[in-house]
Amino acid sequence: MESIRDVRLSDNAADPKFAFGIRVGILFITEAASLSAISVAGLLLYILYSTIAIRKGAARSWKYSTHIHYYFVSLLVADLIQATGGVLDAKWVAEGMVTEGPFCTAQGVLKQIGDVGVALSTMAIAVNTFIVLVFQWQSPTKVAAVVVGLIWLFITLIVAITFAKHRNQNYFGNTQYWCWISAEFGAERIGLEYAWLWTAAIVNIICYIFIALIVQGVLVVDKGRLRRRGSRDPRASTTTSTYRKRHSAVMAMQMLFYPAVYIVTVTPISITRWIDFSSAADLPFAATCFSGICFNLSGFLNVLLFTLTRPGLVPNRVNRRSVENPHIPISITSTTHSVRDSVSPHSLQSPPRAYQNELEDWKDPAPSSPGILLRTNEADKELHRELYTMRAGTQSNRFYGV
């Protein structure tokens, strides 16, 4: 099979046609990008439809009310732009060669915007999730809006400024199999794209490793500082310790999927491109093809993760029967004790009559000291009132889990 340098194209000579094997490989890359584009576009359209339905008062609501929605929508938009750039490879497959021009420039712009957008949005999600789960700090809506706005402003500036600076040169040009930043602009390739991809990968790994250690009980948060759990640190009550352990393990595994998938999709293409523009050694086309397929599947894999491990990010229909007879399980990670262990219903305002009979279900089935009410602070009271609200079918504005 021909190597990259066997088919390296020249700007000043007749461009050779791609070999059949290379055209098939680029076709696979195009199909991977098409799969991502279709799945991401479908999810975005569904979210848009559901959001409109919510505003019209339909029986549909967000499972979790959290500003992380903004970051995920930003990531999905970046995935769609990135996948669209990959779909444009179909032109090179059909023609058997890459030709520079407006179409080539458009593909280069889309690829850079999508690649950097995915990296920065992923990094924002990692940092936000770390802050929410570890320090229990819910940022105001304007913070999420500002962060997302800055991400896209930064991307717009780096693309527009560099393109204008090199407007008399082929800044976005032929890079053997598709169009991207031309080989003579190696510094821009590193500083304006790959540096952000690698930074996002490192931040993802660091954040989610700490999150996994915390939910597993290896580390604890003490006055805003992380430290190793000691033998004197309080543990969860015996009535809920089994559930908490199982829930923490599942949560940790779900979170670890995100950096794992991001690393899997970014690492191969980072290695192949680094070798290509920094080494004189020939790079097999099979390596380029494999890395391109992995990278262009990023959007599809993100959609799978969002729908499987973060269903609360997609609006769901409210089951009206569950409103009349609600049994809504809620995972609370921000308190040391469960609501059933730490809150006495007698210390709260009386709930609606329809739910008074359910209070007994929230008590311990066999309390160690019957008749003795545990301490209830104001935060627990507020949390319990919100639980009443959620059981009545109204979504709370507090972040309950990820």
pLDDT of 244 reads: 55
Q: At 319, phi and psi to the nearest 5?
A: -75, 110
Helix axes 20-55, 285-296, angle to 10 degrees: 10
In percent, the amount of the chain with pLDDT more than 70 equals: 59
- pTM of this structure: 0.70
Distances in Å between the Cα of 141 and the Cα atoms of 21, 30, 67, 195, 281 are 51, 37, 6, 29, 50
User: Which range has the top average pLDDT, 79-83, 214-218, 240-244?
Assistant: 79-83
Distances in Å between the Cα of 1 and the Cα atoms of 14, 18, 27, 326 are 22, 11, 16, 62
Task: Tell me what the pLDDT averaged over the chain comes to.
Answer: 72
pLDDT of 57 reads: 61
Q: Helix (H, G, I), strand (E, B), or coil: what is residue 387?
A: helix
Please determine, for residue 172, whether its predicted confidence score (pLDDT) is greater than 60: yes
Please determine, for residue 85, whether its predicted confidence score (pLDDT) is greater than 50: yes
pLDDT of 222 reads: 66
Please determine, for residue 271, whether its predicted confidence score (pLDDT) is greater than 70: yes
Q: What's the CATH code, domain 4-317?
A: 1.20.1070.10
In the block, which residue shows the tokens 């929508």? 73
Please determine, for residue 337, whether its predicted confidence score (pLDDT) is greater than 70: no
Cβ proximity of 151 and 74 under 8 Å: yes
The structure tokens listed for 39 are 């799945």
Of the candidate ranges 104-113, 212-221, 333-342, 384-393, the one whose mean pLDDT is the lowest = 333-342
Classify 238 in phi/psi space as left (phi over 0), alpha (psi -120 to 50) or beta: alpha
* Distance (Å, whole) CA 124 – CA 72: 9
Please determine, for residue 14, whether its predicted confidence score (pLDDT) is greater than 70: no
pLDDT of 312 reads: 56
pLDDT of 247 reads: 57
Classify 172 in phi/psi space as left (phi over 0), alpha (psi -120 to 50) or beta: beta
In the block, which residue shows the tokens 């009443």? 388
Please determine, for residue 90, whether its predicted confidence score (pLDDT) is greater than 50: yes
Q: Helix (H, G, I), strand (E, B), or coil: what is residue 317?
A: strand
Residues of the chain with CATH 1.20.1070.10: 4-317
212, amino acid identity: A
pLDDT of 69 reads: 79
For 16-44, write each residue's pLDDT tens digit. Answer: 789 999 999 999 999 999 999 999 999 99
In percent, the amount of the chain with pLDDT more than 90 equals: 33
The residue-averaged pLDDT of 247-266 equals: 69
pLDDT of 402 reads: 38
